[in-house]
Chain A
Amino acid sequence: METIINGFSIAVNEEGYLTDFSQWNEEVAEKLATEASIELTPRHWEVLKYLQEEHMKQAALSIRRIGKSGVVDIKEFYQLFPNAPLKTASKISGIPKPASCI
């Protein structure tokens, strides 16, 4: 599947997560944030950058891990990205939907 952002075609999966991180840029993030009714502030960007760094290190992301990251506590994480913060923030930062182990 594809979506058009600022005239560029971006590859996404059926849930709207980017499938090719190289297509991510700050404009893409702004657009995805707007779709989630979020206005990105410098605090949002710190969290998004952190998620991307962790993803590059192949760390499995979880709410618990983010709470202990020192970047943001869980309460604030929810304020920044309401409802399902890890999923929303992952989508905006262009990384895959976090896999919950089963």
Chain B
Amino acid sequence: MKNLVILGAGTAGTMMANHLNHHLKQPEWQITIIDEREAHHYQPGYLFLPFDIYSPEDIVKTIEEFIPKDVELIKNKINRILPTENKIELAGGKELPYDILIIATGAKIAPEETEGMKGSEWQKSVFDFYSFEGSLALRNKLREWEGGKLVVHITEMPIKCPVAPLEFAFLADSFFKHKNMRDKVEITYVTPLSGAFTKPKATQALEHLLEEKNIHIESDFAIERVDNENKEIVDYGGKVIPFDLLVTVPTNKGDELLERSGMGDDLNYVPTHKATLQSKEYNNVFVLGDASNLPASKAGSVAHFEAEILTENILRFIHGEPLKEEFDGHANCFIETGNSKALLIDFNYTHEPVEGSFPFPGLGPLRLLKESRMNHMGKLAFRWIYWNMLLKGTHIPFVSATMSESGKHYDKKTTNQSTIINQL
């Protein structure tokens, strides 16, 4: 019997277990998935928890209910990967051999990377919403906060779901308006990027929305430290931004397991071939989701598109066939803009988000890069899709793993240029 081992039972790992369970059958193959946690969290829900839009029950389920019964689930801490010996060492010393390994250990916040971030004001006036605990603590704070300077802040890129902090700022605007206290809150959006987003067309649209909602933007801010005493964030260039409530996205890092195993880069992400999802160092190791160093968004939609392509590549690998160089960095994200509206963006490694319709060219019903209620309904419906289709590896109708250019309004010149650069 051969062993395929998946590390991590989050969005990416669970999807792979479900996909591969259809193809790799006992007694020839045993699929094993390892995760030390009990619960599976719907991470996009962390954005809504602080505003009492979702409650904890909406976003937490057990890991077991999404793992097929033929797949063995081991709930144990992983000590390290021994990639030259094709073995996993669990906490306690037990070893597990593998023929194929899939790393899906994700990314998480590392506030300790920034001086003072986890200081005396942590979870008093300094919060994150990238962890369940952080998001819940922030909810309790927002329920009673009386206003002042709200600073929404990104420490450094890359981060999971790079649009989430913007969404947080938009939802905060909407939240305080509904509480009739918007005039008591000054919202500032602080980013290390030179604008609201990394891609020009989306930046334009998003900066327009920030202005419309009276959210001030501070760009090119590389934080050096959080000053807990004076309640300020200070950047390396000496810029100082005062806050009464700081909602920060700390540095994101891959799991320490990769550091212990000597397989990660300086942020513990695994160097991975961006089109095949194979590890750059070990042929029988594959990486998907937030754990890789791919220049794509760290987002559930990306893991979903990757999973469809990786399933095929694993089958090809088993049959000794060349891998398909097919993953194009496809990401599809709803951006909540408050007041029950949302934007939708659809893009990949070479094509920036533009206006248009999705998924049916010319018809929609979803609008790209434009605010609409239908997009917001899409975002809310997505939670159902996540629990009932996405994790189970069910193909989402009309949405392909690689990005479609139909129905998108590209400026011809820009598209050609970016394509050429990519080919070079």
Chain A residues with Cβ below 8 Å from B266 are: 64-65, 68
Stretch from B38-46, B62-70, B191-199, B404-412 that touches the partner: B191-199
Identify whether the interface residues of B are mostly helix, strand, loop, or mixed.
Answer: loop
Chain A residues with Cβ below 8 Å from B27 are: none
Chain B CB within 8 A of A4 CB = no
From A74, A84, A101, contact of B157 by CB (8 A): A101
Interface magnitude class on chain B: 20 to 34
By beta carbon, the residue of chain B nearest A64 is B156
Chain A residues with Cβ below 8 Å from B162 are: 102
Question: Could you tell me if B237 and A63 are in contact, using CB atoms closer than 8 angstroms?
Answer: no
A 90-102 to B, binary, CB cutoff 8 A, 1 in contact else 0: 0000000001111
Chain A CB within 8 A of B224 CB = yes
By beta carbon, the residue of chain B nearest A65 is B266
By beta carbon, the residue of chain A nearest B197 is A102
CB distance from B317 to the nearest CB of A (A): 25
Chain B CB within 8 A of A57 CB = no
Question: Could you tell me if B199 and A74 are in contact, using CB atoms closer than 8 angstroms?
Answer: no
Tell me the bound Cα distance from A74 to B197 in angstroms.
23
By beta carbon, the residue of chain A nearest B239 is A83
Question: Could you tell me if B220 and A63 are in contact, using CB atoms closer than 8 angstroms?
Answer: no
Chain A CB within 8 A of B242 CB = no
Q: Which of B237-294 contact A (CB under 8 A)?
A: 237-238, 266-267
User: Could you give 29 example pairs across A and B, Cβ below 8 Å?
Assistant: A60-B295, A62-B157, A63-B156, A63-B222, A64-B156, A64-B266, A64-B267, A65-B266, A68-B266, A74-B222, A74-B236, A77-B236, A78-B222, A78-B236, A78-B237, A78-B238, A82-B237, A83-B220, A83-B237, A84-B194, A84-B220, A85-B237, A87-B220, A99-B198, A100-B158, A102-B158, A102-B162, A102-B197, A102-B296
B: which residues have CB within 8 A of A? 156-158, 162, 192-194, 197-199, 220, 222, 224, 236-238, 266-267, 295-297, 331
